[in-house]
A and B are shown apart, each in its own frame.
Chain A
Amino acid sequence: MAGSKVRTLFDKVWDAHVVERLPDGTCVLYIDRHLVHEVTSPQAFEGLRLAGRTVRRPDATIAVADHNIPTMGRAQGILEDDSRIQVETLERNVAEFGVPYFPILSPQQGIVHIIGPEQGISLPGTTIVCGDSHTSTHGALGALAFGIGTSEVEHVLATQTLLQRPAKNMLVRVDGDLPVGVTAKDIVLAIIGKIGTAGGTGHVIEFGGSAIRALDMAGRMTVCNMSIEAGARAGMIAPDETTFAYVTGRPYAPKGAALDKALAWWRSLPSDEGAVYDKTVVLDAAEIMPMVTWGTNPEAVVAINGVVPDPLAEADEGRRVQLTRMVEYMGLTVGQKMTDLPIDVVFIGSCTNGRIEDIRAAATIARGRKVAPGVRAMIVPGSGIVRDLAEAEGIDKVLIEAGFEWREPGCSMCLGMNPDKLTPGQRCASTSNRNFEGRQGPGGRTHLVSPAMAAAAAIAGHLVDPREYA
């Protein structure tokens, strides 16, 4: 634990950011990077204004609009009044308070959790917060990154700190090698299936083991992104050569002597030998299959060769009621094979799976094939830079040729705040992170999958093992 000699990755980053420890154990924690977006910040800036406060560290803050901007025809402006007002409010606020901002037509614009790492704003060993629960994504770099509410956004803007108590340490180790065709998304869905949506509550999860070490940065970000779906305060992965290679050369990353200094500190961050965790969970990578959620929370997940489970097999009455409701909402029958479920919509994108690697994975499956008749398949790159890179590689054409829509970057159908929504009853294979009732549009039915499975489902017209399309 904090203060003792043997420390975890979390302990080390935490200790380095404690400004003051109050008598009751609450800490004033310093925040290195604050990411701001249009939906959870207006009331925070208003609070500053009313109290006559300023932003303490504009140079540690970056703002971008992502949640409710349209993903087509953006240059014509935002047609929805309430969305436009939120974006205009953000633009006024960043101008008034001097906060750096990537405008919506700039290539740097994108989903806040995609652009942080992409720009080198998110760095190992730092504390990173944002008014968005998927801030856990940045933990893939070995940062302590977590989502906060709007009051805390205001708190960070005003003080560059938060009042926090240390979390408990949890280790999730994935040992061995993943089978071919199984991805980071399948790993994290398998983990949530095992520990449940509250399995990480009160803890910071450190992901370790050879299967995690073998992941590229995009895969690590997918895993950390969904730590919040297991209830964890944050997810972290120890920085290593893969991390350093990723960070080096990015626009806001340190360079030259500063980089050498940073690397010396970053190399000291991995958990010490013999570090103690409050909880440890171990998975065997070899046993992980391509995964798909069947119900309305991320722990309601099965392997693609699985079937819709029987709620009556549950011992607990509350859970029986909940699972029965899920089967009904999702329009399923008990025992139905997942691969028999026809798909209306495919959504590839989000902070979970909107990086270039995810789009390449989709294009590999789509190449030379066609989206099944009646299926609407959309690709929403995570940032302007991802979109530009995909276009430079020509994979936009592969996807368009196959019948996918190629759209502009944003959160899009992950949460349906912009015009990209499911209609009631529509069934969607989605690479996003939440399958809650109505998440992608009222009455919509979401199955969370990897980009490979989403692309394969678009081609097949139903949920399918992507390895059949390799």
Chain B
Amino acid sequence: MMDAFTKLTGIAAPMPMANVDTDKIIPARFLKTIKRTGLGVHLFDTLRYDAEGRERPDFVLNREPYRKAEILIAHENFGCGSSREHAPWALLDFGIRCVIAPDFADIFHTNTFKNGILPIKLSREICDQLMEDAKLGENARITVDLAEQVVVRPNGERIPFEIDPFRKHLLLNGLDDIGQTLQHAPAIDAYEASQRADKSWMPGISV
């Protein structure tokens, strides 16, 4: 179900804001869907559109070439707030496959991986350099190489980044977590049967 992430060269949108919360990424009123797709149009809704629904011309994703951005550069604590996976779904539906920031809120960080989006943590100083690169637009494509674990700036400078090896493996191969976990089904069976995990005191739920 998830697309693999290997190497991406694309336009990066600069978003020099800290604490971009998930309500900003997609307000709650757009969560009333039973699908994962089609949310890109609501991405950053209040920043992107005015009260009449017209595009705000000064918002980065409303400007060329950033309408085609595949990478987003932001500041600290990106994705804080709610657990809504609609946030990465909206990013993905818009076309964003990679977010680079000094750090991410935990739940959002996990949710991005599940959807083939690569979150990269780099220092504020480097994010600011990439932000300046991104401001150059079309002529300043940034490359993200997951296998090599490098971000390549338009000037050719290679910036290494860290990533959890297990998550890297899943992303590179587009593997479904559930499939991975089901390989441990005998261990789950054994846990449920074990003395250590004795939950006989815990009633089952039925209504």
Residues of the B chain whose Cβ atoms lie less than 8 Å from the Cβ of A392: none
Chain B contacts of A51 at CB under 8 A?
Answer: 178
Hey, which chain A residues are within 8 Å of B17, CB to CB?
A: 318, 322
Q: Which residues of B contact A (CB under 8 A)?
A: 1, 16-19, 21, 23-24, 27-29, 31-36, 46, 51, 75-77, 80-85, 88, 103, 105-107, 110-111, 114-115, 164-166, 177-178, 180-182, 184-185, 187-188, 191-192, 196-197, 199-207
Which residues in B have their C-beta under 8 angstroms from that of A201?
Answer: 77, 103, 105-106
Task: Give residues of chain A (218-273) contacting chain B, Cβ–Cβ below 8 Å.
Answer: 228, 231, 233, 252-254, 258-259, 261-262, 265
In the complex, A427 has a CB within 8 A of chain B: no
With A24-B165, A30-B191 known as contacts, the answer to whether A416 contacts B32 (CB < 8 A) is no
Chain B residues with CB under 8 A of A131 = 83, 85
Instruction: State A112–B64 Cα separation when bound (angstroms).
Output: 43
Most A Cβ at <10 Å: residue of B29, B76, B82, B111? B82
Interface of B is mostly: loop
Chain A: residues with CB nearer than 8 A to chain B? 16-17, 19-20, 22, 24, 26, 28, 30, 32, 39-40, 42-43, 46-47, 50-51, 53, 59-62, 67-68, 80, 82-83, 85-86, 89, 100-102, 108, 121, 123, 126, 131-133, 135, 146-152, 154-155, 158-161, 163, 165, 197-198, 201-202, 228, 231, 233, 252-254, 258-259, 261-262, 265, 297, 318-319, 322, 415-417, 424, 434, 436-439, 442-443
Question: Can you list 14 A-B contacts (CB < 8 A)?
Answer: A68-B32, A146-B107, A147-B107, A148-B107, A149-B114, A163-B177, A198-B19, A201-B105, A228-B81, A261-B200, A262-B201, A297-B19, A322-B17, A438-B46
Q: Contacts A151-B85, A198-B80: A53 and B178 contacting too (C-beta < 8 A)?
A: yes
Closest-CB distance, A449 to chain B (whole angstroms): 19
Tell me if B205 and A417 are in contact (CB < 8 A). Answer: no
Do A198 and B77 have beta carbons less than 8 Å apart? yes
**B21, B83, B110, B199 pick with most chain A CB within 10 angstroms:** B83
What chain B residues lie within 8 Å of A86 (beta carbons)?
32-34
Nearest-CB distance from A248 to chain B (Å)? 13
Contact yes or no, B177 A417, CB < 8 A: no
Residues of B with C-beta under 8 A to A252:
203, 205
Query: Closest CB-CB distance, A390 to chain B, in whole Å?
Result: 24
Minimum distance in angstroms from A150 CB to a CB of chain B: 4
**A86 CA / B35 CA spacing, docked (Å):** 10
A123 to B115, CA, bound (A): 32
Residues of B within 8 A of A424 (CB): 51
